[in-house]
Chains A and B, each alone.
Chain A
Amino acid sequence: MDTDLGAGFIALDGVEKVFDVRKKTGFLKRERRQVRAVDGISFTVARGEMVGYIGPNGAGKSTTIKMLTGILTPSGGRLRVAGIDPARERTRLAHRIGVVFGQRTTLWWDLPLIDSYRLMHRMYRIPDARYRENLDRCVELLQLGELLDVPVRQLSLGQRMRGDIAAALLHDPDVLYLDEPTIGLDVVSKAKVREFLRELNAERGTTVLLTTHDLQDIEQLCSRVMVIDHGRLMYDGPLAGLHEAGESERTLVVDLERELPPIEAPAPARVVRVEGPRQWLAFPATESAAGLVAAVAARYPLVDLSVREPDIEAVIAKIYAERTSA
């Protein structure tokens, strides 16, 4: 794929990262093995886009993010963020990006939250007025007001995560990388974080690259999703398109008046489960349910019915499984 690096705000062209792994195979004997954590990835993200970047553990997501921050140097290919080569000008880039690693914290463990923010103020050389404005905004939207004087070690995970997100945004970054920002959070905290990110993207036009295992994050925030596995890009497109790529199916759940043998449904729909008078029919997610419902209703005594949307997790699992076996 030929990518014009000038076109995207974040642009990768054939980016690779190969790690040398040395394995002990005997006394003083070592075997060298190369692991291709990222194996030729190309994509571009436009300014203001909010993109989901998903894949199983060890797929190469975090390695990509680390290359995009400049702390890892690619073994091959080219990459640019805001026109900057991250590995070469890591410090200059740092002023343009914000990073949140869900499992790590940038906050000072022993000290009140506000101390970490004062440090950001100095570190990013944020003009005083701008700093106060951004801090006030984050405090209001992320509900940090009562937490500012609390030592970080006493914060709950959800509070700490909100604190970390604020810390990443005080210097008005153009790009925000979020690596599993909702990991381990309860439902309420997740909702708060998502709500904040949606507003940030809408109002400030911050470009967001979101890595997650929680597909609800993606469903609620991202119009575009990239799926990566074994260091390769498996899918890049709208969330809806994932269903096609994964050949996902919807389910029609039918309650009949009485127990009957499996419904003879018009292909490609088929009965996948029967339990007393209730039957489950699977049909392609790309097809309308109306025809199937009409066909069943015409020939069987219906009491009730409902349609279940495909589980995106199952869809992605299917993509992984297919590509791996291919």
Chain B
Amino acid sequence: MGSGRLYAAVAAGGFRRYATYRAATAAGVFTNTVFGLILVYTYLALWEAEPHLGGYDQAQAVTFVWLGQALLSTLAIGGGGFEDELMERIRTGDIAVDLYRPADLQLWWLAADLGRALFQLLGRGVVPFAFGAVFFPIALPREASAWAAFLVAVLLAMVVSFGLRYLVALSAFWLMDGTGVTQMAWLAGFFCSGMLLPLNVFPGALGEVVRALPWSSMLQAPADVLLGEAGAPGTFAFQAGWALALLALGRLVQSAATRRVVVQGG
């Protein structure tokens, strides 16, 4: 209970920190909308040439694009989450401050990042999605239960995304400069989450593999729940499995990191 309130406070702080920067949020909304427009016309051309590509009809494909834009910053698929800050703290030694606190490092950053993700969902996600819904034919469910299931899938996607980025950030304990790892993670995330193209478009073994990787929990899984292409329980189980595995791995790496840590700077 006591620590629950702490992490709730941390999450609230994470939310407010991002809410502070209104101009950045507005710029982000604009960017996501423009990106969405570009991708939508690309997809429309593709689905025109190849109707029912990957099992989606045109409206579903368009919906997928706007979902992607709504979740891009929420799931920090293009970067911009807590990981840059954590890596910077490891590099400068400010991590010492985090380590002597009576709080768990992983839970602390998870809470902070969930707060951030929630803000990004509301602040940067809703407007581009609404724009897409107004100006393009999209396929959305009517039932509240489908939307509820979608939100659960998004929440699980946030945790999976955190789990991946936590590992990326911890690499800074060994590498000092995590730029390379961040870029690799960014590239993998863009492709493997379905941000570039829905994963069900990819044929054969490649498709099987990317659909089994943790990144597919991020955009593909919530999208398929919303579009009615995947059952909620199975999707949740897949996402939760990856979330737990990644968090457990993160914990393992964290204990190795803090044991060998040479806190930088005097």
Contact = CB atoms under 8 A, between A and B. Distances in A.
Interface of A: 19, 57-58, 61-62, 66, 69-73, 90-92, 94-95, 97, 99, 101, 103-106, 108, 110-111, 115, 118-119, 122-125, 151
B60 to A, nearest CB: 39
B6 A104 contact: no
A175 B20 CA distance: 35
A71 B100 contact: yes
B263 A119 contact: no
22 contacts: A57-B266, A66-B263, A71-B100, A71-B261, A90-B100, A92-B102, A94-B101, A99-B97, A101-B96, A105-B94, A106-B97, A108-B17, A110-B20, A111-B20, A115-B13, A119-B9, A119-B10, A122-B2, A123-B102, A124-B102, A125-B2, A125-B6
Contacts of B184: none
Contact of B93 (A57, A90, A104): A104
B16 interface: yes
A111 B101 CA distance: 19
B1 to A, nearest CB: 10
Contacts of A71: 96, 99-100, 258, 261, 263
Contact of A94 (B9, B17, B100): B100
A85 B80 CA distance: 39
B212 interface: no
B203 interface: no
Contacts of B10: 119
Contacts of A61: 266
Contact of B13 (A90, A94, A111): A111
Contacts of A73: 259
B13 A72 contact: no
A90 B104 CA distance: 11
Interface in B96-129: 96-97, 99-103
B262 interface: yes
Nearest to A105: B97
B97 A118 contact: no
B265 interface: yes
Given A104-B93, A119-B10, A123-B102, 9 more contacts: A62-B265, A66-B96, A90-B99, A90-B100, A94-B100, A99-B97, A104-B96, A122-B2, A123-B103
Contacts of B16: 111, 115
Interface string B4-41: 01100110010011001100000000000000000000
A130 to B, nearest CB: 15
Nearest to B9: A122
Contact of A104 (B21, B94, B262): B94
Given A72-B263, A101-B96, A110 B17 contact: yes
B266 A62 contact: yes
Given A104-B93, A122-B5, A122-B9, A70 B20 contact: no
B5 A103 contact: no
4 A-B pairs with least C-beta separation: A94-B102, A122-B6, A69-B100, A110-B17
A68 B213 CA distance: 43
Contacts of B94: 104-105
A69 to B, nearest CB: 4
Nearest to A19: B262
B102 A95 contact: yes
A123 B101 contact: yes
B152 to A, nearest CB: 27
A118 B96 contact: no
Nearest to B21: A110
B174 to A, nearest CB: 12
Nearest to B5: A122
B84 to A, nearest CB: 13
